[in-house]
């Protein structure tokens, strides 16, 4: 299972890169807007920190402009993955770019049928948004289960299921249980995954007892 970080904050990515657990990064127009920075600069900086796939999303919605934007983003760095919305034009762009050898992440996926279309369009990744489905009272993880099951029926589907819109560590556990290929999460969720009250308590006890021994390993 791969871990991507869902942020456009370069400092946060730099800090987490040291963990050795970050396989890639996803961004979107809202995250770029929040960073207050130029998308081209941000994507180049992230790509230079994380060697894995870095998703950079197009800003337009029509075929010709999205294709031009996608090609420009792709040419920034070899590890750019072009992110396109799950629309008719977005999937047309996905097909063209995928045929050119570019990795494409199809985003804003909210149904199994949309995920089937993304796979047929040659997407490297499809991004079902679990949190946003949960937010409207639907079951985001059921969608992941459906897509994993469907993709498993077709060996010619090479699209990875990239679980997005992750809101809590249980989303990561559930996605892993279902065999999703990738989870993209905000930095805060990755940090939360390390924590357990019994780990803290146990470590405090071990440290206290170790001090009593007066020993030193080094």
How far is Cα 63 from Cα 60, in angstroms, rounded to an integer? Answer: 8
Please name every residue paired with 28 in a beta bridge, in sequence order, or none if there are none. none
Residues in the chain: 218
Q: With contacts defined by CB under 6 A, how many residues of the chain interact with ligand E4P?
A: 11
Question: Of residues 8, 26, 53, 126, which one binds ligand E4P by CB under 6 A?
Answer: 26
- State the nearest-atom distance from the C-beta of 23 to ligand E4P, in Å: 14
Please name every residue paired with 41 in a beta bridge, in sequence order, or none if there are none. none
Q: Which is nearer to ligand E4P, 65 or 168 (CB)?
A: 168
Q: Which is nearer to ligand E4P, 57 or 121 (CB)?
A: 57
How far is Cα 150 from Cα 76, in angstroms, rounded to an integer? Answer: 34
Sketch the per residue contact string, 148 through 187, with ligand E4P: x for CB under 6 A, - otherwise: ----------------xx------------------x---
Quick check: is 92 catalytic? Answer: no
Contact 7, 13 (CB under 8 A): yes
Contact 144, 163 (CB under 8 A): yes
Beta-carbon count within 10 A of 126 CB:
29
Q: Which is nearer to ligand E4P, 131 or 169 (CB)?
A: 131
**Can you list the positions of beta strands (E) in the chain?**
2-6, 24-26, 54-57, 80-85, 104-109, 125-128, 160-163, 182-185
- State the nearest-atom distance from the C-beta of 87 to ligand E4P, in Å: 16
66: tokens are 């999205």
- State the nearest-atom distance from the C-beta of 107 to ligand E4P, in Å: 6
Contact 139, 60 (CB under 8 A): no
Judged by CB under 6 A, the chain residues 104 through 133 that form the site for ligand E4P are: 107, 127, 129, 131-132
Q: Which is nearer to ligand E4P, 102 or 127 (CB)?
A: 127
**Is 2 near ligand E4P (CB under 6 A)?**
no
Q: Which is nearer to ligand E4P, 112 or 130 (CB)?
A: 130
How far is Cα 84 from Cα 90, in angstroms, rounded to an integer? Answer: 5
Selecting among 2, 34, 72, 83, the annotated active-site residue is 83
Residues near ligand E4P, by CB under 6 A: 6, 26, 28, 107, 127, 129, 131-132, 164-165, 184
**Which residues carry out catalysis?**
83
């Amino acid at each position: 299972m791969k871990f991507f970080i869902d942020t456009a904050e370069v400092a946060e990515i730099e800090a987490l890169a040291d963990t050795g657990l970050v396989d890639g990064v996803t961004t979107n127009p809202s995250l770029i807007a929040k960073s207050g920075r130029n998308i081209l600069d941000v994507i180049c900086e992230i790509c230079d920190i994380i060697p894995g796939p870095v998703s950079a999303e197009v800003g337009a919605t029509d075929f010709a402009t999205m294709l031009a934007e996608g090609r420009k983003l792709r040419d920034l760095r070899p590890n750019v993955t072009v992110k396109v919305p799950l629309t008719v034009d977005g999937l047309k762009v996905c097909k063209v770019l995928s045929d050119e050898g570019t990795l494409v992440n199809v985003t804003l996926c909210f149904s199994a049928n949309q995920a089937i279309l993304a796979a047929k369009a040659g997407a490297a990744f499809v991004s079902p948004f679990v949190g946003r489905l949960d937010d409207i009272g639907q079951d985001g993880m059921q969608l992941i289960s459906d897509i994993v099951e469907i993709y498993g029926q077709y060996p010619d589907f090479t699209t990875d299921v990239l679980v997005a819109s992750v809101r809590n560590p249980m989303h990561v556990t559930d996605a892993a249980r279902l065999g999703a290929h990738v989870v993209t999460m905000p930095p805060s969720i990755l940090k939360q995954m390390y924590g357990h009250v019994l780990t803290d308590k146990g470590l405090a006890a071990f440290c206290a007892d170790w001090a009593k021994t007066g020993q030193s390993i080094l």
